């Protein structure tokens, strides 16, 4: 009984540590006073001024556009890659996977700088397109890592059976493999989308002047002092991420349940 | 016709956008433009070991090390408790992991709001309770706090994942053989969870040691860690060669650490790599 109580207290303290800062921001996003020391009454004006701030709106637009495009392209390339890698010999598969892990494991700052040197080196001007290319690149591994385990656990003879029954390999991939890995493809897509939405370091080094996503804008704002609009952004982003993750989780639980039966 | 060709676009992409860029760091780190001619040089690598830079690097490792240790101490009991409840709901784990999906900058900024000397929420509360206020903003303590806050879930997750996989019969066997619950924890559970601990340590230490946002925001720019130095070489002083050399050394250390970790954590990289 005592142990149970101690456990609860410990969980409570950690939860407080984790959530107090976030909830503080969210509460103060409704504070009429600009000061964070006192409560000046309920207001929605920071949300209003946030949506009227052209820089914030523009970076929101860039964030969403890049997240969407990069997630779509990464999903296509990554899914195709996973199907191809699965069919390769062990040695080649391992070589490719080792390189695939590089951007996942490497420090973001190193990846970001590598991109920056590379883009400048090949004469691309830093901006929307370089940021997009960088996002696609760091997203692909996550799609591959979402899809590959499912491919591994699949019955490989169904594909061969389809070929024996006269399907072309394109047809067999489309009619046999894709339907089975579809849930994992969608999970990979959502993961890529979320990661792109959240990225700061790599974007910071590849965006150049003039283009910025929300993270970069927040960084610039925080360095110039505190603006209550940031609190409003926090609330909206927290809710957005919460909904996204709950969707991913639901999909997962459904998939697990399906496999059980 | 074979399915393998489906991977070829990715292989090309991978070479162009993963391998070539990493090679560029290497290239910039060990060459310089000597009157229109590109020559090999160890100058930048050597410069990294000059006292001011070397000290910054040592400091980064020290702070990140502290943060990792604190994370481990906080996370292990948490993972144990959560693993004990694993059967009931994955929702519990979800609650503890959720904050790490919140935008990294906003999480760090939140502490700025809390810790501010005059107007900060923490000090306002302390004043209400007539307690002395704390001023840690701009000190290493604030940086370490920021690291612990941001990366704690990275420690919880891998440890939790290894703990839930431990076969309950092993625990029963230990019990039958006369181990009390403390002995069981130290001699059975902990050794079995070591792979998770190792990957937790790398997953916290790595981003902590390379972070430049946390020192910039919570250290008020007064404390320079290696991440800050690298950032400055590229975005302020434009000494790309030196910045690349530092990145190169950082990358080598990271890859060595990864190799070391892999020996503890065979075939379990996928669990560690995904942020689940």
3-class secondary structure, A106? coil
Chain B residue closest in CA terms to A86 = B4
pLDDT band at B3 (very low <50, low <70, confident <90, very high): confident
**Residue-level pLDDT at B275:** 39
- pLDDT tens digit sequence for A165-210: 988 888 888 888 898 899 899 989 988 998 898 899 999 999 988 8
Runs of H (alpha helix) within B116-239: 121-128, 140-165, 168-176, 181-184, 190-210, 213-218, 226-235
pLDDT band at B273 (very low <50, low <70, confident <90, very high): very low
Sort out which chain B residues have CB atoms less than 8 A from A107's CB and list them.
206-207, 209-210, 250-251, 254
Is residue B1 included in any domain, yes or no? Answer: no
Q: Please give the average per-residue pLDDT across B172-189, as a whole number.
A: 86
Phi, psi (5° rounding) for residue A31? -85, 130
Q: Please give the average per-residue pLDDT across A225-238, as a whole number.
A: 83
Task: Answer whether residue B206 shows pLDDT above 90.
Answer: no
Please say whether the beta carbons of B160 and B134 come within 8 A.
no
Residue A31 pairs with which residues in a beta bridge?
A42
More confident residue, A109 or B38: A109
- pLDDT tens digit sequence for A86-95: 989 899 999 9
Q: Please give the average per-residue pLDDT across B145-173, as a whole number.
A: 90
More confident residue, A206 or A34: A206
Is residue B207 included in any domain, yes or no? Answer: yes
Sort out which chain B residues have CB atoms less than 8 A from A109's CB and list them.
210, 212, 227, 230-231, 247, 250
Is residue B94 included in any domain, yes or no? Answer: yes
Provide the residue range defining the domain that includes B244: 21-273
Class of domain A45-260: mainly alpha
Give the start-to-end residue ranges of the domains of chain A. 45-260
Task: Answer whether residue A260 shows pLDDT above 70.
Answer: no
Q: Is A226 on the interface with B (CB under 8 A)?
A: yes
CB contact under 8 A, B247 and A109: yes
Cβ neighbours of B1 (radius 10 Å): 8
**Residue-level pLDDT at A66:** 96
Determine the Cα–Cα distance for residues B88 and A112; give it in Å rounded to an integer: 41
CB contact under 8 A, A198 and B101: yes
**Residue-level pLDDT at A138:** 95
**Two tokens, residue B197:** 């601990």
Q: Is A83 on the interface with B (CB under 8 A)?
A: yes
Determine the Cα–Cα distance for residues A41 and B125; give it in Å rounded to an integer: 18
- For the domain that residue B190 is a member of, what is the CATH number? 1.10.3720.10
CB contact under 8 A, B234 and A116: yes
Task: Answer whether residue B89 shows pLDDT above 90.
Answer: no
Lowest mean pLDDT among A131-145, B115-129, B213-227: B115-129
**Residue-level pLDDT at B197:** 92
3-class secondary structure, A97? helix
Sort out which chain A residues have CB atoms less than 8 A from B10's CB and list them.
77-78, 80-81, 84, 96, 140, 144
Chain A residue closest in CA terms to B248 = A110
Q: What is the DSSP letter of A208?
A: -
Across A116-120, A244-248, A253-257, B85-89, the highest mean pLDDT is recorded for A116-120
Determine the Cα–Cα distance for residues A44 and A48; give it in Å rounded to an integer: 7
pLDDT band at B267 (very low <50, low <70, confident <90, very high): very low
Is residue B4 included in any domain, yes or no? Answer: no
How many CB contacts within 8 angstroms connect chain A with chain B?
A: 231
Is residue B6 included in any domain, yes or no? Answer: no
Could you tell me which of B251, B66, B28, B245 has the C-alpha nearest to residue A109? Answer: B251
| Mean predicted lDDT score pLDDT of chain A | 88
Among A84, A117, A198, beta carbon nearest to B8 = A84
Lowest mean pLDDT among A16-25, A124-133, B203-212, B255-264: B255-264
**Residue-level pLDDT at B68:** 96
Q: Is A12 on the interface with B (CB under 8 A)?
A: no
> Nearest CA of chain A to the CA of B87: how many Å?
14
CB contact under 8 A, B207 and A107: yes
Please say whether the beta carbons of B159 and B200 come within 8 A.
yes
- pLDDT tens digit sequence for B213-237: 999 989 888 888 999 999 999 988 8
Q: Please give the average per-residue pLDDT across B167-171, as a whole number.
A: 85
Q: Is A257 on the interface with B (CB under 8 A)?
A: no
**Residue-level pLDDT at A147:** 93
Sort out which chain B residues have CB atoms less than 8 A from A113's CB and list them.
25, 230, 234, 243-244, 247
Q: Is A194 on the interface with B (CB under 8 A)?
A: yes
Among A116, A222, A245, beta carbon nearest to B109 = A222
Please say whether the beta carbons of B24 and A88 come within 8 A.
no
- pLDDT tens digit sequence for B93-116: 888 888 888 888 888 988 988 888
Is residue B233 included in any domain, yes or no? Answer: yes
The number of domains in chain B is: 1
Is residue B3 included in any domain, yes or no? Answer: no
Among A7, A77, A104, beta carbon nearest to B9 = A77
Going from the C-alpha of A95 to that of each of A91, A114, B270, the distances in angstroms are: 6, 21, 16
Sort out which chain A residues have CB atoms less than 8 A from B13's CB and list them.
77, 137, 140
CB contact under 8 A, A173 and B11: no
3-class secondary structure, A110? helix
């Amino acid at each position: 009984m005592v142990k149970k109580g101690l456990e609860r207290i410990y969980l409570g303290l950690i939860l407080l540590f984790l959530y107090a800062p976030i909830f503080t921001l969210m509460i103060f996003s409704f504070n009429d006073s600009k000061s964070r020391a006192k409560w000046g009454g309920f207001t929605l004006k920071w949300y209003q001024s946030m949506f009227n701030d052209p820089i914030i709106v523009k970076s929101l637009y860039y964030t969403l556009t890049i997240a969407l495009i990069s997630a779509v392209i990464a999903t296509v390339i990554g899914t195709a890659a996973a199907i191809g890698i699965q069919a390769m010999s062990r040695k080649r598969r391992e070589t490719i996977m080792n390189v695939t892990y590089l951007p996942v494991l490497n420090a973001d700052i190193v990846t970001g700088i590598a991109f920056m040197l590379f883009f400048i080196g090949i004469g691309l001007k830093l901006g929307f397109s370089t940021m997009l290319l960088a996002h696609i690149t760091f997203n692909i591994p996550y799609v591959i890592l979402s899809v590959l385990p499912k491919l591994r656990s699949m019955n490989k003879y169904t594909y061969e059976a389809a070929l024996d029954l006269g399907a072309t390999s394109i047809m067999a991939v489309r009619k046999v493999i894709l339907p089975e890995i579809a849930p994992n493809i969608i999970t990979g897509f959502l993961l890529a989308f979320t990661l792109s939405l959240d990225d700061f370091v790599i974007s910071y080094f590849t965006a150049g002047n003039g283009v910025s996503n929300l993270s970069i804008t927040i960084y610039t704002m925080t360095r110039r002092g505190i603006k209550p609009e940031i609190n409003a952004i926090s609330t909206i982003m927290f809710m957005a991420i919460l909904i996204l993750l709950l969707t991913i989780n639901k999909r997962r639980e459904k998939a697990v349940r399906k496999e059980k039966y | 016709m074979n399915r393998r060709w489906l991977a070829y676009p990715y292989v090309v992409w991978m070479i162009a956008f993963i391998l070539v860029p990493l090679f560029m760091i290497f290239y910039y780190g060990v060459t310089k433009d000597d009157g229109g001619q590109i020559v090999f040089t160890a100058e930048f690598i050597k410069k990294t070991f000059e006292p001011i830079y070397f000290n910054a690097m040592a400091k980064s490792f020290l702070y990140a090390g502290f943060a990792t240790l604190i994370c481990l101490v906080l996370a292990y009991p948490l993972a144990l408790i959560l693993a004990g409840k694993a059967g009931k709901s994955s929702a519990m784990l979800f609650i503890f992991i959720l904050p790490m999906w919140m935008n990294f900058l906003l999480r760090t900024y939140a502490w700025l709001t809390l810790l501010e000397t005059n107007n900060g929420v923490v000090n306002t509360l302390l004043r209400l309770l007539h307690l002395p206020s704390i001023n840690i903003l701009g000190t290493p303590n604030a940086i370490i706090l920021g690291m612990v806050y941001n990366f704690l879930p990275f420690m919880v997750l891998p440890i939790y994942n290894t703990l839930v996989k431990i076969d309950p019969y092993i625990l029963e066997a230990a019990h039958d053989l006369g181990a009390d619950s403390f002995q069981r924890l130290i001699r059975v559970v902990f050794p079995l969870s070591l792979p998770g601990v190792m990957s937790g340590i790398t997953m916290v230490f790595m981003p902590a040691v390379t972070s430049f946002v946390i020192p910039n925001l919570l250290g008020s720019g007064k404390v320079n860690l290696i991440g800050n130095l690298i950032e400055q070489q590229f975005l302020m002083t434009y000494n790309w060669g030196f910045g690349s050399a530092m990145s190169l050394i950082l990358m080598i250390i990271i890859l060595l650490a990864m190799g070391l970790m892999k020996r503890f954590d065979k075939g379990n990289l996928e669990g560690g790599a995904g942020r689940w």
